[in-house]
Structure 1
Amino acid sequence: MFLTSLGFGVILPTLPFLSKHLGATPLEMGLAISVFSVASLFSSFLWGAASDRLGRRPVLIMGIVGYGLSSALLALAPNITVLLILRFLAGMMASAVSPSSMALVTELTSAEERPRILGYMGSINGIGFIFGPPVGAFLSIFGIGVPFASVGLLSILNGLLAMRFLPRGSKPAEGASEAIRPEVNKENAWVAGVKRLGLLLKNRMIAPLLFGSFVIALADASISSTLSYYITGPLQSTQTMAGWAFMMNAGVSAIAQATVFARIFTRYGDMMTIVIGFSFGAVGFFLLGLSHLLVWAFGAVALLSLCRGLAFPSITTGISLRISSALQGSGFGSYNTVGSLGRTLGPLIAGWLFSVHASSPFFFSGGLLLLTVGAFLLWTHRERKTSAHQQSNTVQKTV
């Protein structure tokens, strides 16, 4: 996961320069970034279903190597059309990594230790993103295509290491009920993936977590797409300080996931941990929108990072604990799909709101998180009430 996220971080800061080198317009430069999320949107749940059918390990290795090779070919792209096609392919292959890796971890851990391990995975992912951009900036000194070729070599190395050291999970469809096995064996990946995505979106135990994933991804995208403009514009600071803000956003989140997340999750459970994280996020967004000084903006970014550090691993851990072992890949694939939808729509909404008023994206995201907190509290109250009613009926029948 570290090597994969390092590759992501190497690509992102150098991609605009490669697009500009090929004569891309501002719209095409934006498409080079957003097409990656669009590909992930349409393929994550398919890879999740494929990992349920074929096993976690082969899908994970295929995604690692495929992402690196398609990214390496970007260095040879003759025009912007080829670049966009390769970025779409890179997004498709990259979307295989997360659901299969989290499903594999779920199979290899107990329910008690899973929050801690998934928190570590999120932390490692963030650390890779921290180191990636400076590595990419350094490699670009030697040529515009060097960072992309380096990611290809890194992915091949990563794939070889995975083949040698990655533990094997359970066999495909192991633990599935008899009703699920025929579906896994006979239906193709597209039909199985779409069907399972629809079932999970209707499941009252999983749907709130998927909705929370969409909301936090949408809100988080407003930061990634407008924070630099906000710091260098209304706050009249420099691009260097914007870079430090992004590094702080990733760093605090990584620390939170590695240290405090498992304790909070163990004590309060998935839904209340999400509520706590979203509450930090709502305060952070409102504070950022009201900031007139850079120091207040950095404090707001720290709260937003703490929100990410609690919310994302809470959602993934909650999904892993609420779904059967045979469908873990489909569950995490659906999680990535709704997250990709949020990351696709987020920059578009934030960009439009930013053109209306510089603080609008942050007030919108803060309000959205606040409404979601209310919805989660209401849902939790109803679930407890329903559970108590069912227990009462069971006692009466027993008596």
Structure 2
Amino acid sequence: MQKRSVKSGDDKPTAEETMKTEPLLSPDGAGDQTVKIFNFKVHKVVLVVHINIFLYATCFWIQTGTLPYLSKRLGVDPVVFGYLQTTFAVVQLAGGPLYGRFGDLFGGRAAMTLAFSASALTYFLLGLSYNIPLLFVSRLPSMFMHAMQGGQMIVTDLGEVHKRADALGKLGMSYGVGMVIGPLVGGLITKHVSEEFAAFLASAGSLLSIVLVLAFVPKHTKKPEAKVAEEASSSSVFNFKKIINLVLAPGVLFLLLIKIGSGIPIGIFQSMFQVVAIDTFHLAADQNGFVMSYIGITTMIVQGIGIGILTKRFSENSILKWSAFILVWSYLLMAFCTNIWQLCAVFLPLVIGLTTKNVVLSAAVTKTVSDADTGAMLGLNMAVHSLVRTVSPTIGGYMLEHLGFPSFGYLGFVLCSIVTVVLFIKFRQPS
């Protein structure tokens, strides 16, 4: 028989009752946690996360645009550059699931601080690189350079489940703004100052993000019931049994395999794009920056506006099927591109298909697990991306050297055709 305690007017609530009754992320119980921007209410912490993701993307794309030119100046050929990209992918693959588990256990503030610290160190070492071995060493701290994953974890924690894809899409829009500005800034600095200065600027931007995280992001962002569930489970970051169980959860493996199948072509193309831009299309650093900014603007529009409209009108299954269908024909068109203007035209449907597919898949995998494990699941989702990037540079380097640029398009056409057929069979019943 359960006893009911009766309190007098002077009795103080217990800590457990306080946690349940006080507003989330407001330890002192004071103040509204939202701000108004253009008549839209935005959670203060989510707003800070968006600012940090913008800074992260800006700094990342500054160094991404700088890296191939610095590498070429140091005597790196396409094959060695492929090894460099593989090294980056391998260390990110190793760190992705661990970073997600770390975020679930220690909270959003610790996770974001770790990510930006890794970013700052990676870019700083890149700026110091005066030979090829140091270039490889500069990739090692990126094991925990997962700020986007950390941001997704916080937005997932604070948002509503049925609006998750839209929330992740809007976070991608902030990333897209940085992707527009970063290559432009990086290209101009590389052209007028130096590659090293661009890398140091990216490092400084990451340090600014650390300050913002420590000042505005709370220690924990998960809902109270999710924190209780997490405390009841193993508290080890290196709990590989837990990670394996998440992979084997219903529906997860299928979604991850779809991500791999449709991700291989773009992973190979992205790993070699900087080399293609220089050797095939003969772009200068600033011109390369303009192309990357064009891609960023397209991505930003699709993620910030398109995803919200699509998820309100269509099911996620339908969006997934038709985005894969768009990719099939985008890759086929890519195979016939002979100049940069044609390639930029193909980028439009390609970016639309890739962006919608990636956002919907990211939202879908988080819905297969409890709120306590969303960070680890996002880590697995990111690990798949890193796994693709691990093998992509080696395959891409071989394809570019022996088969030529059109082979990227033909590979994408074949693999995405298979993925599309599988999706249409799997989701043939209306959802």
Under TM normalisation by the shorter chain, which class is it? Answer: 0.7 to 0.9
TM-score (norm 2): 0.78
Distance of 1:99 and 1:230 partners within structure 2 = 28
Report the equivalent of 1:316: 362
Report the equivalent of 1:100: 150
| 8 Å Cα contact 1:57/1:168 also seen in 2 | yes
User: 1:223 deviation in Å?
Assistant: 2.9
Distance of 1:100 and 1:232 partners within structure 2 = 33
Distance of 2:278 and 2:71 partners within structure 1 = 23
Report the equivalent of 2:409: 362
Distance of 1:248 and 1:212 partners within structure 2 = 27
Distance of 2:125 and 2:399 partners within structure 1 = 35
Q: 1:189 aligns with which of 215, 218, 237?
A: 237
| 8 Å Cα contact 2:271/2:396 also seen in 1 | yes
Distance of 1:122 and 1:336 partners within structure 2 = 14
More deviation, 289-298/259-268: 289-298
Amino acid corresponding to residue 195 of structure 1 in structure 2 = K
User: 1:105 deviation in Å?
Assistant: 0.6
Report the equivalent of 1:374: 421
1:11 aligns with 2:63: yes
User: 1:38 deviation in Å?
Assistant: 1.3
2:251 counterpart SS class: coil
Report the equivalent of 2:34: none
Q: Cα–Cα, structure 1 residues 231 and 64, in superposed 2: closer, same or farther, change >3 Å? A: closer
User: 1:176 deviation in Å?
Assistant: 6.1
Amino acid corresponding to residue 197 of structure 1 in structure 2 = I
More deviation, 333-342/354-363: 354-363
Seq. identity, %: 20
Report the equivalent of 1:390: none
Distance of 1:301 and 1:72 partners within structure 2 = 32
Q: Cα–Cα, structure 1 residues 196 and 101, in superposed 2: closer, same or farther, change >3 Å? A: farther
Amino acid corresponding to residue 395 of structure 2 in structure 1 = I
Report the equivalent of 1:392: none
Report the equivalent of 1:163: 214
More deviation, 13-22/119-128: 13-22
Q: Cα–Cα, structure 1 residues 126 and 220, in superposed 2: closer, same or farther, change >3 Å? A: farther
Report the equivalent of 1:217: 263
Distance of 1:359 and 1:70 partners within structure 2 = 33
Distance of 2:196 and 2:282 partners within structure 1 = 27
User: 1:64 deviation in Å?
Assistant: 0.9
Deviation digits for residues 318-337 of structure 1, max 9, x if unmatched?
12333211001100000000
2:380 counterpart SS class: helix
User: 1:271 deviation in Å?
Assistant: 2.5
Unaligned regions of 5+ residues in structure 2, if any? 1-52
Amino acid corresponding to residue 266 of structure 2 in structure 1 = D
1:338 aligns with 2:338: no
Q: Cα–Cα, structure 1 residues 326 and 366, in superposed 2: closer, same or farther, change >3 Å? A: same
| 8 Å Cα contact 1:52/1:184 also seen in 2 | no
| 8 Å Cα contact 1:222/1:361 also seen in 2 | yes
Unaligned regions of 5+ residues in structure 1, if any? 385-399
Distance of 1:42 and 1:330 partners within structure 2 = 13
User: 1:110 deviation in Å?
Assistant: 1.0
RMSD: 2.7
Amino acid corresponding to residue 277 of structure 1 in structure 2 = S
Distance of 2:106 and 2:228 partners within structure 1 = 17
Report the equivalent of 1:125: 175
Q: 1:307 aligns with which of 343, 353, 367?
A: 353
| 8 Å Cα contact 2:82/2:394 also seen in 1 | no
Structure 1 segment 278-297 matched on structure 2, within 5 A: 278-291=324-337, 295-297=341-343
Q: Cα–Cα, structure 1 residues 173 and 82, in superposed 2: closer, same or farther, change >3 Å? A: farther
2:367 counterpart SS class: helix
User: 1:295 deviation in Å?
Assistant: 4.9
Distance of 1:259 and 1:370 partners within structure 2 = 27
Structure 1 segment 38-117 matched on structure 2, within 5 A: 38-89=90-141, 91-95=142-146, 97-117=147-167
1:208 aligns with 2:276: no
Q: Cα–Cα, structure 1 residues 164 and 243, in superposed 2: closer, same or farther, change >3 Å? A: closer
1:175 counterpart SS class: helix
**Alignment size in residue pairs:** 375
User: 1:148 deviation in Å?
Assistant: 1.8
Distance of 2:173 and 2:92 partners within structure 1 = 21
Report the equivalent of 1:328: 374
Distance of 1:290 and 1:247 partners within structure 2 = 23
Larger radius of gyration: 2
1:147 aligns with 2:195: no
| 8 Å Cα contact 1:22/1:79 also seen in 2 | yes
| 8 Å Cα contact 1:120/1:258 also seen in 2 | yes
Q: Cα–Cα, structure 1 residues 294 and 316, in superposed 2: closer, same or farther, change >3 Å? A: same
**Which structure shows the bigger proportion of residues in helix conformation?**
1
| 8 Å Cα contact 2:110/2:219 also seen in 1 | no
1:224 counterpart SS class: helix
User: 1:63 deviation in Å?
Assistant: 1.0
User: 1:242 deviation in Å?
Assistant: 6.0
